[in-house]
Structure 1
Amino acid sequence: MLKHLLVLMLILASISAVSEPLKVGRSASDPANGLVNLQKLSEQVIEELKGKHYDSYKIYNAENADVPELISIIKDKKIDIMVESLYFASIIADNTNMEPVLLVSRNGSVYIKGFIVTRKDSVIHSVNDLNGKIVTVINTESVPAFLLPKKMIESTGLKFRMVQSADSPVTENSVGYYVTNDKAQAVNNVYLKKTDAAIICSGVWENVKFMPDFIKDNLKIIGTTESVPGIYLLIRRDMEKAKKEKLINIFLTMYRTSRAKNVCDLDGFHKIDFDWKTLFQNLK
């Protein structure tokens, strides 16, 4: 009887070990592709685990990239993994028990930089020429496509101020920025002369989905920021060591097999070989 009871307890323990889903969090900072990417990645991870550690996943989403809501979800739901931009990764690492463990590559590189672009027929040839102009930005939560270009513009002595529309008045010695929350619209605004310039990241510039040749051929880059490692995979610090190592190994090897090549529009995971804490600290 005791033997049967022990066997039953072992079975129940085994079931319990895989009954909790892999909890995946996201900031909703990239509504177009972020959720699809996470779904595909999570499905691939669960398939690779083959029922060990986790046999399902659940995605928890913070609406509208709201930081307090995001932090609350991570803590309350005990999120296991996240794939986030540099901006949100730094906030998450500073306010929760999650830490970056891998870099994520897109378009063959882990590095992203920001571009200030305008039309080739524009009289704007440098950042200094943006005085009194309006630029379109995609969002204000991007290091390469907002914070670094903002720093570049302000280094010229110009003020960088938010405006409510593409035709809002802009005071002297200022540059107005209009937030669109849409990559394609940001590009179209400058192409169609609705705004004088646009701030985008290198990923948008190199993506024909947002930057088709007929538009790209009519634009020029007037400002380029430094390159930064742009996307991070974060894992809960207190995760069981065996689980963490297994997950990291799955991500590191995911894109080495042909069947995983098209998991999403990301194309690889890589070990972090720099002091990410210093980088994150410098963003403050």
Structure 2
Amino acid sequence: MLPKFLKEVVLLGLFTTLVSCGSTEENSLSQTPTSTPTPQSTATGTLVLADVNKNAAAKLENFQPMADYLAARLEKFGIGVGEVKVAPDLDTMASLLKEGKVDIYVDSPYPAMIVSDKSGAEPILRRWKNGKGEYYGVIFTLAESEIDSLADLKGKMLAFEEPVSTSGYFLPLNTLLDADLKMVEKGSQNEAVAADEVGYVYSNDDENTIQWVLSGEVAAGAADYSFLEEIPAESRQALKILAETQKIARHLVIVRPGMDPELVQQIKTVLMEMNQTPEGKEVLTTFEETAKFDEFPVETSLDKMRQLYEQVEKK
């Protein structure tokens, strides 16, 4: 069973609510003060780089150097200013891309698919976030648990990260459904679970998911495999992996619909060459430890997400 919000089109109502509550777009979005054009450029056009996140302050700090770097290299398109916006949810991001108020959006394949399908935005590159080009999710439990397979999860409670997470929700959910398990969302980890179902709740963070499993608040959890590898050895040894999901591209770069193809090509060129210069590497490091951007069958990644989504809907 999917969360209700994935089955409803709420973009218009949500966006209207945000606008009416704040009277201006700035009240519904977090953004940095507009940067000044670089000393070498006289262009004043703005390139807007955006993300969806609840922690706006951290994203603004990490994204601004990247926005500035790109803007400084797009002068022939009249661009000399880099701006960052952080939207509160996927519906708002889709609206901003569709309306041309955001130029570039970067995210993992599942939310990228949702935003792309709602806005018409196009994927152009893969981003190696945290140095990784691909990733996957894992489903795990306590090492001492009597749960040894996915089938043993019947009658138990499981924790996902959040309903827009690729590795901490969507891929693991698909793996569980492929195992013919009846997945039922619960209001809390203390709610009763029927013997023929697997109950699930959201922890809102991979770290919380792991802690809930270690403390016995839930019987099992799903998380990004790399996060599980980074926890202390003692905690890692106290867990066992029941299943791994299929691998998917780590992050995708998406541009707004209707963008000038020459501008799109220049953005791709700038991003793919960043890891070849000291300045570019420095900005990549600031941009959440990005190793590089590269050509990749990004549309294939979204197609795979759509296929998985259809499978989930059917079940």
Aligned to 1:229: 249
Which amino acid in 2 is paired with 1:226?
Answer: Q
Give the TM-score normalised by the residue count of structure 2.
0.75
Aligned to 1:97: 120
Instruction: Note the alpha carbon deviations across 1:188-210, whole angstroms, 9 max, x for none.
Output: 1112222111100223223x3xx
Which amino acid in 1 is paired with 2:275?
Answer: Y
Checking the alignment, whether the CA contact within 8 Å between 1:100 and 1:233 is kept in structure 2 is yes
Which amino acid in 2 is paired with 1:19?
Answer: T
- For the aligned residues, what is the CA RMSD? 2.6
Aligned to 1:195: 218
Instruction: Note the alpha carbon deviations across 1:116-139, whole angstroms, 9 max, x for none.
Output: 011111111111111111111111
How far is the alpha carbon of 1:252 from its aligned partner?
Answer: 0.6
Which amino acid in 2 is paired with 1:243?
Answer: L
Give the TM-score normalised by the residue count of structure 1.
0.82
How far is the alpha carbon of 1:274 from its aligned partner?
Answer: 6.1
Alignment of 1:245-256 (within 5 A): 245-256=265-276
Which amino acid in 1 is paired with 2:137?
Answer: G
Q: C-alpha distance in 2, partners of 1:99/1:138?
A: 27
Count of matched residue positions in the alignment of Structure 1 and Structure 2: 264
Does residue 19 (structure 1) correspond to residue 44 (structure 2)? The answer is yes
Q: C-alpha distance in 1, partners of 2:236/2:129?
A: 20
Q: Which of 215, 226, 239 matches 2:259? A: 239
Checking the alignment, whether the CA contact within 8 Å between 1:86 and 1:232 is kept in structure 2 is yes
Which amino acid in 1 is paired with 2:80?
Answer: D
Unaligned runs of 5+ in 2: 1-40, 311-315
Checking the alignment, whether the CA contact within 8 Å between 1:157 and 1:173 is kept in structure 2 is no
Q: Which of 137, 148, 169 matches 2:171? A: 148
Aligned to 2:17: none
How far is the alpha carbon of 1:225 from its aligned partner?
Answer: 0.9
SS at match of 1:70: helix
Does residue 113 (structure 1) correspond to residue 136 (structure 2)? The answer is yes
Aligned to 2:232: 212
Unaligned runs of 5+ in 1: 1-15
Which stretch shifts more, 273-282 or 82-91? 273-282
Checking the alignment, whether the CA contact within 8 Å between 2:127 and 2:294 is kept in structure 1 is yes
Q: C-alpha distance in 2, partners of 1:104/1:33?
A: 19
